[in-house]
Amino acid sequence: MNTNRDCHVVLWRNMYDSSGADQLRKAGCRVTIVEPSDDDKLSSVLADARGLWVRYPQKVTAQILDAAPQLQIVSTSGFGSDNIDIEAATQRGILVVNQRGFGRIPVSEHTIMFMLALARRFLWAEGATRDGSGWDKRTDYPIFELAMKTVGIVGLGYIGSELARKLRIGFGCNVIGYDPFVDPRIPQLLHINRVSSLDELLPQVRFLCLCLELTSDSKNIIGAKELAKLSKDAFVVNTSRGGVLDLEALTSALEADQIAGAALDVYQPEPLPPTHRLFKMPNVIVTPHNAGLTTETNERSTRSAVEQLLAGMAGNMPAFPKNPQAWDATQSRRRGLVHAG
């Protein structure tokens, strides 16, 4: 059985918790960190790499994989794996792993923070307090309570189900969920009113929360047609992936006062240019894709990535494979390396 002694692991950007590189070194790995200024050297650095960790949104393409003839395993930085060509990895016998469930708490908290900030016009209130203009206008801008409101959640996985739980228990919200792939027991246990179509969900909700993974089926799942079905007092909150929401359609809907506002942690592309029209809108709240990057989650997800990289390079099946079929296929890098040893 192969060991990890003297193996080469490439980190495409620093890990979210800086101790991750030290954990790999302690396990006997040689670690190379590829910073933005070194991107043109990535292919040469990968020549003898057996493990690759990639920080979103850097994209692992077939061409990059071809530059790494000894690569056994690719690890994401978080849950999403849409930045990795998994089909190409599978064809080359390379295992892809992600970090599952670690964003459940921080991203659901961030989503509720967004919802409360929109309901209470936090951006206006904070700025107006600082400049002194808010005291005479406290009743000029209506605010409302999140409690008992109807919230639509698209995607009832780790994050969507945790968001639903918090909203139901903490705020007494009426939660409507759309997810054609979810285990039906989850919405039943969480008292979510599961619907079979977006058309049924959209007209009912005050908040539309996007919590789904980006796939070919979910790309731009919310576009102009779907936004037109929301009420004028509805808000859109996206803390999943930028690609599930047509950003130009959202911008146009906001400019036309078709919906009340939005809060975004993710974009397509990332980062958005600072001149984008969204950034000039007072009813839009934005954060730099940091919803899941709490200190606690960074530690947990980095530890998960390190453990999975070490397991995969040792020839063992890691905890969260995205393409387990690659591990036992005839072209598997694991099998070839084990036989060679």
Catalytic residue annotation: 241, 270, 289
Nearest to 65 by CA among 50, 79, 81: 50
Distances, alpha carbon 332 to alpha carbons 23, 85, 94, 323, 335, in Å: 26, 16, 7, 11, 5
Distances, alpha carbon 9 to alpha carbons 47, 73, 194, 275, in Å: 11, 10, 44, 38
- DSSP summary character for residue 240: S
State the CB neighbour count (10 A cutoff) for residue 326.
Answer: 23
Distances, alpha carbon 151 to alpha carbons 121, 174, 180, 206, 319, in Å: 18, 6, 18, 6, 33
- Positive or negative torsion for Cα 168, 170, 172, 173: negative
| Alpha carbons 157 and 199: distance in angstroms, whole number | 20
| Alpha carbons 23 and 170: distance in angstroms, whole number | 38
**DSSP per position, 259-304:** SSEEEES--SSSSPPTT-GGGG-TTEEE--S-TT--HHHHHHHHHH
Q: How far apart are the first and last CA of the chain?
A: 7
- DSSP summary character for residue 321: B
Nearest to 52 by CA among 3, 96, 16, 19: 96
- The torsion defined by the Cα of 194, 195, 199 and 204, in degrees rounded to 10, comes to -50
